[in-house]
A and B are shown apart, each in its own frame.
Chain A
Amino acid sequence: MTSKRVMRNLYSQLGLGLVLAGAALIPTSYQLLGSIPLTALGIALVILGAICLVLGRTRPRIPPEVSSLLMETGLENLASLLEELGLKSKGVYLPSSLTSGQPQALIPLHSNPQFPQLKQAMPKRLIVQYGSSPEDIGLLVTTVGSTTINMLEAKPGSSSEEIAAALTTILVGTLDIADGIKVHLADNKALVTISHPRLEYKNTWLYESLGSPLACVTASLVAEAMDKPVIIERDEQKRGENLIELHILE
Protein backbone atom coordinates (compact mmCIF):
# COMPACT_ATOMS: atom_id res chain seq x y z
CA MET A 1 0.00 0.00 0.00
CA THR A 2 1.55 3.33 -0.98
CA SER A 3 1.83 6.16 1.53
CA LYS A 4 -0.37 8.30 -0.73
CA ARG A 5 -3.15 5.70 -0.55
CA VAL A 6 -2.76 5.45 3.23
CA MET A 7 -3.18 9.19 3.58
CA ARG A 8 -6.45 9.12 1.68
CA ASN A 9 -7.75 6.89 4.44
CA LEU A 10 -9.62 8.92 7.05
CA TYR A 11 -8.42 6.75 9.96
CA SER A 12 -4.79 7.31 8.99
CA GLN A 13 -5.34 11.07 8.69
CA LEU A 14 -7.04 11.15 12.09
CA GLY A 15 -4.30 8.98 13.59
CA LEU A 16 -1.50 11.17 12.27
CA GLY A 17 -3.26 14.30 13.51
CA LEU A 18 -3.74 12.83 17.00
CA VAL A 19 -0.15 11.56 17.26
CA LEU A 20 1.25 14.96 16.21
CA ALA A 21 -1.10 16.85 18.56
CA GLY A 22 -0.21 14.50 21.45
CA ALA A 23 3.52 14.72 20.69
CA ALA A 24 3.31 18.52 20.77
CA LEU A 25 1.18 18.60 23.93
CA ILE A 26 3.43 16.32 26.04
CA PRO A 27 6.61 18.49 26.19
CA THR A 28 4.63 21.74 26.21
CA SER A 29 2.47 20.79 29.17
CA TYR A 30 5.23 18.98 31.07
CA GLN A 31 8.11 21.44 30.63
CA LEU A 32 6.37 24.79 30.15
CA LEU A 33 3.06 24.46 31.98
CA GLY A 34 4.10 21.82 34.52
CA SER A 35 0.65 20.25 34.26
CA ILE A 36 0.49 16.47 34.77
CA PRO A 37 -3.18 16.07 33.65
CA LEU A 38 -2.43 17.86 30.36
CA THR A 39 0.69 15.72 29.86
CA ALA A 40 -1.46 12.63 30.48
CA LEU A 41 -3.95 13.91 27.93
CA GLY A 42 -1.09 14.19 25.44
CA ILE A 43 -0.13 10.56 26.13
CA ALA A 44 -3.78 9.55 25.63
CA LEU A 45 -3.82 11.37 22.26
CA VAL A 46 -0.67 9.54 21.16
CA ILE A 47 -2.19 6.15 22.15
CA LEU A 48 -5.44 6.94 20.35
CA GLY A 49 -3.55 8.19 17.31
CA ALA A 50 -1.40 5.05 17.13
CA ILE A 51 -4.54 2.91 17.26
CA CYS A 52 -6.20 4.96 14.48
CA LEU A 53 -3.07 4.61 12.32
CA VAL A 54 -3.09 0.83 12.82
CA LEU A 55 -6.82 0.57 12.02
CA GLY A 56 -6.31 2.72 8.91
CA ARG A 57 -3.73 0.26 7.62
CA THR A 58 -6.10 -2.69 8.01
CA ARG A 59 -8.80 -1.24 5.76
CA PRO A 60 -9.36 -3.25 2.58
CA ARG A 61 -7.15 -2.24 -0.34
CA ILE A 62 -10.05 -2.50 -2.77
CA PRO A 63 -12.63 0.28 -2.25
CA PRO A 64 -16.05 -1.04 -1.09
CA GLU A 65 -17.63 0.35 -4.29
CA VAL A 66 -15.45 -1.96 -6.43
CA SER A 67 -16.31 -4.98 -4.25
CA SER A 68 -20.02 -4.13 -4.53
CA LEU A 69 -19.67 -3.80 -8.31
CA LEU A 70 -17.98 -7.21 -8.61
CA MET A 71 -20.55 -8.88 -6.34
CA GLU A 72 -23.49 -7.39 -8.24
CA THR A 73 -22.01 -8.44 -11.59
CA GLY A 74 -21.60 -12.02 -10.37
CA LEU A 75 -25.11 -12.14 -8.91
CA GLU A 76 -26.59 -10.58 -12.05
CA ASN A 77 -24.98 -13.28 -14.23
CA LEU A 78 -26.20 -16.05 -11.93
CA ALA A 79 -29.69 -14.53 -11.88
CA SER A 80 -29.74 -14.42 -15.70
CA LEU A 81 -28.71 -18.09 -15.86
CA LEU A 82 -31.44 -19.18 -13.42
CA GLU A 83 -34.06 -17.04 -15.14
CA GLU A 84 -33.12 -18.35 -18.58
CA LEU A 85 -33.33 -21.96 -17.35
CA GLY A 86 -36.59 -21.20 -15.55
CA LEU A 87 -35.30 -22.65 -12.27
CA LYS A 88 -37.54 -21.94 -9.33
CA SER A 89 -36.47 -24.68 -6.96
CA LYS A 90 -34.83 -23.78 -3.68
CA GLY A 91 -31.06 -24.03 -3.59
CA VAL A 92 -29.49 -26.58 -1.26
CA TYR A 93 -26.38 -25.35 0.51
CA LEU A 94 -23.78 -28.09 0.75
CA PRO A 95 -20.84 -28.25 3.18
CA SER A 96 -17.31 -28.60 1.80
CA SER A 97 -17.33 -32.32 2.68
CA LEU A 98 -20.02 -32.85 0.01
CA THR A 99 -18.35 -30.71 -2.66
CA SER A 100 -14.84 -30.55 -4.02
CA GLY A 101 -13.35 -27.93 -1.74
CA GLN A 102 -15.50 -25.05 -0.61
CA PRO A 103 -19.19 -24.99 0.42
CA GLN A 104 -21.44 -24.54 -2.61
CA ALA A 105 -25.12 -24.36 -3.46
CA LEU A 106 -26.92 -26.97 -5.51
CA ILE A 107 -29.98 -25.84 -7.46
CA PRO A 108 -32.03 -28.87 -8.57
CA LEU A 109 -33.35 -28.62 -12.14
CA HIS A 110 -36.58 -30.29 -11.05
CA SER A 111 -38.34 -29.39 -7.81
CA ASN A 112 -38.12 -32.44 -5.63
CA PRO A 113 -40.01 -32.45 -2.34
CA GLN A 114 -37.68 -35.13 -0.97
CA PHE A 115 -34.04 -34.19 -1.44
CA PRO A 116 -32.03 -37.43 -1.64
CA GLN A 117 -29.36 -38.16 0.95
CA LEU A 118 -25.97 -37.41 -0.55
CA LYS A 119 -23.43 -40.16 0.05
CA GLN A 120 -20.41 -38.82 -1.79
CA ALA A 121 -18.86 -35.49 -2.69
CA MET A 122 -20.12 -33.76 -5.82
CA PRO A 123 -17.66 -33.44 -8.73
CA LYS A 124 -16.30 -29.97 -9.46
CA ARG A 125 -18.68 -29.25 -12.33
CA LEU A 126 -21.52 -26.86 -13.06
CA ILE A 127 -24.08 -29.55 -13.94
CA VAL A 128 -24.06 -32.49 -11.54
CA GLN A 129 -26.14 -35.60 -10.87
CA TYR A 130 -26.86 -35.73 -7.14
CA GLY A 131 -29.19 -38.74 -6.88
CA SER A 132 -29.97 -42.10 -8.45
CA SER A 133 -33.04 -40.88 -10.36
CA PRO A 134 -32.42 -39.46 -13.86
CA GLU A 135 -34.23 -36.32 -12.75
CA ASP A 136 -31.77 -35.70 -9.93
CA ILE A 137 -29.71 -33.20 -11.85
CA GLY A 138 -28.80 -29.75 -10.67
CA LEU A 139 -26.52 -26.77 -10.98
CA LEU A 140 -23.65 -26.60 -8.52
CA VAL A 141 -22.80 -22.93 -8.06
CA THR A 142 -20.41 -20.91 -5.96
CA THR A 143 -22.18 -18.30 -3.84
CA VAL A 144 -21.19 -15.31 -1.72
CA GLY A 145 -21.21 -17.64 1.27
CA SER A 146 -18.75 -20.06 -0.34
CA THR A 147 -15.89 -17.58 -0.25
CA THR A 148 -16.70 -15.88 3.05
CA ILE A 149 -16.10 -19.14 4.95
CA ASN A 150 -12.38 -18.69 4.14
CA MET A 151 -12.40 -15.54 6.29
CA LEU A 152 -12.70 -17.70 9.40
CA GLU A 153 -9.51 -18.94 11.00
CA ALA A 154 -11.10 -22.30 11.90
CA LYS A 155 -14.21 -24.27 10.99
CA PRO A 156 -17.01 -23.38 13.46
CA GLY A 157 -18.52 -25.94 15.81
CA SER A 158 -22.13 -27.10 15.59
CA SER A 159 -23.55 -25.39 18.71
CA SER A 160 -25.70 -22.26 18.36
CA GLU A 161 -23.12 -20.18 20.30
CA GLU A 162 -20.27 -21.24 18.00
CA ILE A 163 -22.34 -20.55 14.89
CA ALA A 164 -23.39 -17.14 16.26
CA ALA A 165 -19.75 -16.31 17.07
CA ALA A 166 -18.59 -17.32 13.58
CA LEU A 167 -21.39 -15.33 11.91
CA THR A 168 -20.62 -12.30 14.09
CA THR A 169 -16.95 -12.50 13.13
CA ILE A 170 -17.84 -12.52 9.43
CA LEU A 171 -20.88 -10.23 9.21
CA VAL A 172 -20.11 -7.79 12.03
CA GLY A 173 -16.34 -7.86 12.45
CA THR A 174 -15.01 -8.48 8.95
CA LEU A 175 -17.69 -7.43 6.45
CA ASP A 176 -19.33 -4.86 8.76
CA ILE A 177 -22.77 -5.36 7.20
CA ALA A 178 -24.78 -5.99 10.38
CA ASP A 179 -24.77 -5.02 14.05
CA GLY A 180 -25.58 -8.30 15.80
CA ILE A 181 -26.47 -11.97 15.27
CA LYS A 182 -28.68 -14.36 17.24
CA VAL A 183 -28.90 -18.06 16.45
CA HIS A 184 -31.48 -20.50 17.74
CA LEU A 185 -31.19 -24.19 16.89
CA ALA A 186 -34.12 -26.57 17.30
CA ASP A 187 -34.54 -30.06 15.80
CA ASN A 188 -33.72 -29.67 12.13
CA LYS A 189 -34.24 -25.92 12.06
CA ALA A 190 -32.01 -22.95 12.63
CA LEU A 191 -33.45 -19.48 13.17
CA VAL A 192 -30.95 -16.70 12.62
CA THR A 193 -31.80 -13.08 13.45
CA ILE A 194 -29.51 -10.45 11.99
CA SER A 195 -29.99 -7.01 13.50
CA HIS A 196 -29.56 -3.83 11.45
CA PRO A 197 -28.45 -5.43 8.18
CA ARG A 198 -26.88 -2.98 5.77
CA LEU A 199 -27.62 -4.95 2.59
CA GLU A 200 -31.06 -4.33 1.18
CA TYR A 201 -33.37 -7.22 0.32
CA LYS A 202 -34.61 -7.39 -3.27
CA ASN A 203 -37.49 -9.54 -4.37
CA THR A 204 -35.80 -11.14 -7.39
CA TRP A 205 -35.68 -14.57 -8.99
CA LEU A 206 -32.20 -15.19 -7.61
CA TYR A 207 -33.21 -14.29 -4.04
CA GLU A 208 -36.21 -16.63 -4.34
CA SER A 209 -33.92 -19.52 -5.18
CA LEU A 210 -30.71 -18.85 -3.26
CA GLY A 211 -31.79 -16.18 -0.77
CA SER A 212 -30.27 -12.78 -0.14
CA PRO A 213 -26.46 -12.46 0.19
CA LEU A 214 -26.87 -12.39 3.99
CA ALA A 215 -28.94 -15.58 3.90
CA CYS A 216 -26.36 -17.07 1.52
CA VAL A 217 -23.52 -16.47 3.97
CA THR A 218 -25.63 -17.75 6.88
CA ALA A 219 -26.73 -20.91 5.08
CA SER A 220 -23.20 -21.73 3.87
CA LEU A 221 -21.80 -21.26 7.37
CA VAL A 222 -24.53 -23.33 9.05
CA ALA A 223 -24.08 -26.09 6.44
CA GLU A 224 -20.33 -26.09 7.09
CA ALA A 225 -20.75 -26.01 10.88
CA MET A 226 -23.33 -28.82 10.96
CA ASP A 227 -21.66 -30.67 8.07
CA LYS A 228 -25.10 -31.20 6.56
CA PRO A 229 -26.99 -29.76 3.57
CA VAL A 230 -29.17 -26.74 4.37
CA ILE A 231 -32.15 -25.10 2.66
CA ILE A 232 -33.29 -21.51 3.24
CA GLU A 233 -36.98 -21.74 4.19
CA ARG A 234 -37.59 -18.12 5.13
CA ASP A 235 -35.64 -14.99 4.38
CA GLU A 236 -37.37 -11.74 5.23
CA GLN A 237 -36.39 -8.28 6.32
CA LYS A 238 -38.55 -6.25 8.68
CA ARG A 239 -38.09 -3.48 11.22
CA GLY A 240 -34.32 -3.41 11.07
CA GLU A 241 -33.98 -7.19 11.33
CA ASN A 242 -33.35 -9.96 8.87
CA LEU A 243 -35.01 -13.24 9.83
CA ILE A 244 -33.53 -16.32 8.22
CA GLU A 245 -35.00 -19.74 8.84
CA LEU A 246 -32.98 -22.70 7.69
CA HIS A 247 -33.96 -26.33 7.32
CA ILE A 248 -31.09 -28.69 8.06
CA LEU A 249 -31.30 -31.86 5.94
CA GLU A 250 -30.02 -35.26 7.02
Chain B
Amino acid sequence: MKIYDKYILILASLLLATTVIVAALGEARLDLYFSIYVIEAMVLTELYVYLNPRAKRGLNRVNYGLFAGFLVIVAAKVVEILWGIKLL
Protein backbone atom coordinates (compact mmCIF):
# COMPACT_ATOMS: atom_id res chain seq x y z
CA MET B 1 0.00 0.00 0.00
CA LYS B 2 2.88 2.34 -0.74
CA ILE B 3 0.80 4.69 -2.89
CA TYR B 4 -1.73 5.18 -0.04
CA ASP B 5 1.12 5.93 2.39
CA LYS B 6 2.56 8.53 0.02
CA TYR B 7 -0.85 10.16 -0.43
CA ILE B 8 -1.48 10.36 3.34
CA LEU B 9 2.04 11.64 4.07
CA ILE B 10 1.85 14.37 1.41
CA LEU B 11 -1.60 15.49 2.56
CA ALA B 12 -0.54 15.50 6.22
CA SER B 13 2.55 17.58 5.35
CA LEU B 14 0.48 20.01 3.29
CA LEU B 15 -2.14 20.50 6.01
CA LEU B 16 0.49 20.95 8.73
CA ALA B 17 2.57 23.37 6.62
CA THR B 18 -0.57 25.40 5.83
CA THR B 19 -1.51 25.61 9.50
CA VAL B 20 1.99 26.73 10.49
CA ILE B 21 2.38 29.29 7.67
CA VAL B 22 -1.12 30.80 8.01
CA ALA B 23 -0.78 30.93 11.81
CA ALA B 24 2.65 32.57 11.45
CA LEU B 25 1.02 35.24 9.24
CA GLY B 26 -1.29 36.02 12.16
CA GLU B 27 -4.48 34.95 10.40
CA ALA B 28 -7.44 34.39 12.75
CA ARG B 29 -10.19 33.46 10.29
CA LEU B 30 -11.10 29.80 10.64
CA ASP B 31 -12.94 29.78 7.30
CA LEU B 32 -9.71 30.72 5.51
CA TYR B 33 -7.88 27.74 7.02
CA PHE B 34 -10.74 25.45 6.04
CA SER B 35 -10.93 26.78 2.47
CA ILE B 36 -7.19 26.18 1.96
CA TYR B 37 -7.48 22.64 3.39
CA VAL B 38 -10.36 21.86 1.00
CA ILE B 39 -8.45 23.14 -2.03
CA GLU B 40 -5.33 21.16 -1.05
CA ALA B 41 -7.26 17.92 -0.51
CA MET B 42 -9.10 18.28 -3.82
CA VAL B 43 -5.99 19.17 -5.85
CA LEU B 44 -3.98 16.30 -4.35
CA THR B 45 -6.76 13.79 -5.07
CA GLU B 46 -6.92 15.00 -8.67
CA LEU B 47 -3.13 14.63 -9.00
CA TYR B 48 -3.34 11.01 -7.83
CA VAL B 49 -5.13 9.87 -11.00
CA TYR B 50 -3.60 6.41 -10.77
CA LEU B 51 -5.22 5.45 -7.46
CA ASN B 52 -7.44 2.41 -7.82
CA PRO B 53 -11.05 3.26 -8.80
CA ARG B 54 -12.52 2.22 -5.43
CA ALA B 55 -10.13 4.48 -3.53
CA LYS B 56 -10.75 7.31 -5.98
CA ARG B 57 -14.51 7.02 -5.53
CA GLY B 58 -14.12 7.03 -1.73
CA LEU B 59 -11.84 10.08 -1.79
CA ASN B 60 -14.25 11.87 -4.10
CA ARG B 61 -17.02 11.30 -1.54
CA VAL B 62 -14.86 12.91 1.16
CA ASN B 63 -14.12 15.80 -1.20
CA TYR B 64 -17.83 16.31 -1.90
CA GLY B 65 -18.34 16.63 1.86
CA LEU B 66 -15.50 19.13 2.13
CA PHE B 67 -16.82 21.08 -0.83
CA ALA B 68 -20.27 21.20 0.80
CA GLY B 69 -18.58 22.73 3.87
CA PHE B 70 -16.84 25.25 1.62
CA LEU B 71 -20.20 26.19 0.04
CA VAL B 72 -21.68 26.75 3.51
CA ILE B 73 -18.82 29.18 4.27
CA VAL B 74 -19.38 31.00 0.95
CA ALA B 75 -23.15 31.19 1.60
CA ALA B 76 -22.53 32.56 5.11
CA LYS B 77 -20.22 35.22 3.66
CA VAL B 78 -22.79 36.20 1.03
CA VAL B 79 -25.47 36.52 3.72
CA GLU B 80 -23.09 38.62 5.81
CA ILE B 81 -22.29 40.95 2.90
CA LEU B 82 -25.91 41.33 1.70
CA TRP B 83 -27.85 41.50 4.99
CA GLY B 84 -25.12 42.02 7.58
CA ILE B 85 -26.08 38.89 9.53
CA LYS B 86 -22.99 37.05 10.85
CA LEU B 87 -23.71 33.33 10.72
CA LEU B 88 -20.23 31.91 11.37
A interface residues with partner B (beta carbon < 8 Å) = 11, 14, 36-37, 39-41, 43-44, 47-48, 50-52, 54-55, 57-59, 151, 153, 165, 168-169, 172-174, 176, 179
Contacts of A176 in B (CB 8 A): 1-3
Structural contact, B62 and A54, CB atoms closer than 8 A:
yes
Structural contact, A47 and B66, CB atoms closer than 8 A:
yes
Interface residues of B in 12-64 (CB under 8 A from A): 12, 15-16, 18-19, 22-23, 27-30, 33-34, 37, 41, 49-55, 58-59, 61-62
The interface residues of chain A, by DSSP majority, are classed as helix
Residue of A nearest to B14 (CB): A44
Structural contact, A40 and B33, CB atoms closer than 8 A:
yes
Q: Among the listed B16, B19, B29, B41, which residue makes an inter-chain contact with A51, where contact means beta carbons less than 8 Å apart? A: B41
B interface residues with partner A (beta carbon < 8 Å) = 1-4, 7-8, 11-12, 15-16, 18-19, 22-23, 27-30, 33-34, 37, 41, 49-55, 58-59, 61-62, 65-66
Structural contact, B37 and A153, CB atoms closer than 8 A:
no
For the complex, give the distance between the alpha carbons of A52 and B7 in Å: 10
Contacts of A174 in B (CB 8 A): 52-53
CB distance from A153 to the nearest CB of B (A): 6
CB distance from B19 to the nearest CB of A (A): 5
Structural contact, B61 and A54, CB atoms closer than 8 A:
yes
For the complex, give the distance between the alpha carbons of A209 and B2 in Å: 31
Residue of A nearest to B20 (CB): A37
Structural contact, B33 and A36, CB atoms closer than 8 A:
yes
For the complex, give the distance between the alpha carbons of A56 and B22 in Å: 30
Structural contact, B50 and A48, CB atoms closer than 8 A:
no
Contacts of B27 in A (CB 8 A): 36
Contacts of A168 in B (CB 8 A): 50
Structural contact, B19 and A40, CB atoms closer than 8 A:
yes
Contacts of B7 in A (CB 8 A): 55
CB distance from B18 to the nearest CB of A (A): 8
For the complex, give the distance between the alpha carbons of A59 and B54 in Å: 9
Q: Among the listed A37, A43, A153, which residue makes an inter-chain contact with B23, where contact means beta carbons less than 8 Å apart? A: A37
Structural contact, A36 and B30, CB atoms closer than 8 A:
yes
Structural contact, A40 and B4, CB atoms closer than 8 A:
no
Contacts of B23 in A (CB 8 A): 36-37, 40
Structural contact, B22 and A55, CB atoms closer than 8 A:
no
Contacts of A11 in B (CB 8 A): 1, 4, 8
Residue of B nearest to A15 (CB): B8
Structural contact, B37 and A52, CB atoms closer than 8 A:
no
Residue of B nearest to A41 (CB): B19
CB distance from A83 to the nearest CB of B (A): 34
For the complex, give the distance between the alpha carbons of A3 and B55 in Å: 18
Also in contact, A51 and B2, with CB within 8 A (given A43-B33, A58-B58, A172-B50): no
Other A-B pairs, 14, CB within 8 Å; known A47-B15, A54-B58: A36-B23, A36-B33, A37-B23, A37-B33, A41-B16, A50-B62, A51-B8, A51-B41, A55-B4, A58-B52, A153-B53, A165-B50, A168-B50, A172-B50
